[in-house]
């Protein structure tokens, strides 16, 4: 389906209030669904856990968000106020995967997002392209939204995320691009959730500053992040709650799925061994992009993100884990292409800062 576009401007509080008011039904719906999913999974091993237990744990994360980024927290707080959602609950809606780790959700092999970077040597126009599929429980798809953001105190940005949530994947007018895919470490704790980190990164004027936002946080759990800038800057950052490795993808093709590429992080922190599905998705996306290396276009990348396989699809059609969107960004534009749904079926919407 086409992604809804919502425009926000003003102070963090003003943008949060508009977000929470305009998308009130979606904010409440997504938050309730994610609390239900966490409880459903936890009850397999911990049948006595209640919603009140989860909300109390969500509240333990709030101070870390405020201390890390006052602006992001003020916007988050205003979303909850306008939508009538308590902040402990909204934290679960925003930090779903991080929160699940902290709540000791029983882990299975991840069938999550598949990300890529394509440097100048790999593309037909000599520009950088980065992006990913966004894989999540299929119930999240109707809540996807593309925000056109005009803060009073930070660069304008184009952000793909969900109702009630801070930034998930995005680009700002300075050409700073950020995105992520999930990793599951064994050191999760109450801390800064990944959406708060990405939201703060998009407030920066350089890619290096955005990178530093991701590395300095007292993180709640682990994710893989990619950062790109208009001068060809590219970093991939594998994190746990307490540790990280920075990978320099180079000017060709680089791909990342849902396992640690760093042997050190895998051995010390991973909650599970490298899963076959993640390894195969990562390998196959790299192969598909390498086949067009030096000639890659948005159309080629979209086709690669639409790849289907009996067991290891990049574009996943399912219920528990499904491709709920796809994003491609070019920092030199700066511009973004995004869809809320399967990239094999849905048209990618392009937005820039024209």
Q: How far is CA 273 from the centre of its chain?
A: 22
What tens-digit pLDDT sequence spans the chain (354 residues)? 578 899 999 999 999 999 999 999 999 999 999 999 999 988 888 888 999 999 999 999 999 999 999 999 999 999 999 999 999 999 999 999 999 888 864 344 455 899 999 999 999 999 999 999 999 999 999 999 999 999 999 999 999 999 999 999 999 999 999 999 999 999 999 999 999 999 999 999 999 999 999 999 999 999 999 999 999 999 999 999 999 999 999 999 999 999 999 999 999 999 988 999 999 999 999 999 999 999 999 999 999 999 999 889 999 998 778 999 999 999 999 999 999 999 999 999 999 998
**Right CATH number for 115-352 from 3.30.950.10, 3.60.60.10, 3.90.740.10, 3.10.20.30?**
3.60.60.10
Q: What is the pLDDT of residue 103?
A: 84
Neighbours of 218 (CB within 10 A): 13
Could you tell me which residues are beta bridge partners of residue 254? 117
- Angstrom CA distances, 236 to 8, 71, 138, 214, 219, stand at 29, 25, 27, 11, 16
**The pLDDT value given to residue 143:** 96
- pLDDT value, residue 111: 55
What pLDDT is stored for residue 109 in this prediction? 46
Q: How far apart are CA 155 and CA 207, in angstroms?
A: 13
Q: What is the DSSP letter of 219?
A: B
Taking the C-alpha atoms of residue 273 and residue 277, their distance in angstroms, rounded to an integer, is 11
Residue closest to 352 by CA, chosen among 211, 228, 175:
175
**Buried-exposed string 125-157: b where 16+ CB fall within 10 A, e elsewhere:** eebbbbbbbbbbbbbbbbbbbbbebebeebbbb
The per-residue pLDDT for 319 is: 75
N- to C-terminal Cα separation, the chain: 24
- The domain spans of the chain are 4-102, 115-352
Q: How many other C-beta atoms lie within 10 A of the C-beta of residue 295?
A: 11
């Amino acid at each position: 389906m086409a992604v809804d576009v919502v425009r926000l401007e003003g102070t963090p509080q003003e943008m949060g209030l508009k977000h929470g008011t305009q998308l009130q039904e979606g904010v409440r719906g997504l938050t309730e669904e994610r609390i239900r999913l966490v409880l459903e999974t936890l009850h397999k091993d911990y049948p006595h856990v209640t919603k009140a237990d989860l909300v109390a744990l969500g509240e333990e994360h709030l101070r870390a968000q405020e201390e890390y980024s006052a602006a992001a927290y003020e916007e988050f707080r205003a979303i909850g106020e306008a939508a009538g959602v308590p902040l402990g609950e909204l934290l679960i809606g925003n930090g779903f995967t991080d929160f699940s780790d902290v709540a000791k959700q029983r882990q299975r092999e991840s069938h999550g997002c598949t990300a890529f970077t394509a440097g100048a040597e790999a593309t037909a126009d000599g520009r950088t392209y980065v992006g990913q599929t966004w894989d999540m429980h299929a119930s999240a798809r109707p809540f996807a939204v593309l925000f056109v953001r005009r803060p009073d105190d930070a660069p304008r940005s184009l952000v793909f995320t969900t109702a009630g949530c801070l930034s998930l994947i995005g680009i700002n007018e300075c050409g700073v691009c950020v995105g992520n895919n999930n990793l599951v470490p064994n050191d999760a704790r109450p801390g800064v959730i990944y959406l708060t980190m990405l939201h703060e990164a998009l407030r920066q004027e350089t890619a290096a500053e955005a990178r530093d936002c991701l590395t300095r946080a007292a993180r709640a759990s682990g994710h893989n992040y990619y950062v790109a800038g208009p001068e060809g800057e590219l970093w991939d950052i594998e994190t746990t709650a307490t540790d990280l490795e920075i990978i320099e993808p180079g000017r060709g093709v680089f791909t990342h799925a849902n396992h640690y590429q760093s042997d050190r992080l895998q051995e010390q922190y991973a909650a599970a061994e490298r899963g076959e599905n993640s390894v195969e998705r990562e390998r196959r996306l790299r192969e598909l992009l390498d086949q067009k290396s030096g000639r890659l276009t948005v159309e080629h990348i979209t086709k690669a993100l639409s790849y289907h396989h009996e067991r290891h699809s990049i574009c996943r059609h399912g219920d528990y884990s499904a491709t709920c969107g796809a994003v491609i960004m070019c920092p030199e534009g700066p511009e973004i292409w995004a869809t809320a749904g399967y990239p094999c079926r849905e048209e990618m919407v392009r937005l820039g800062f024209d």
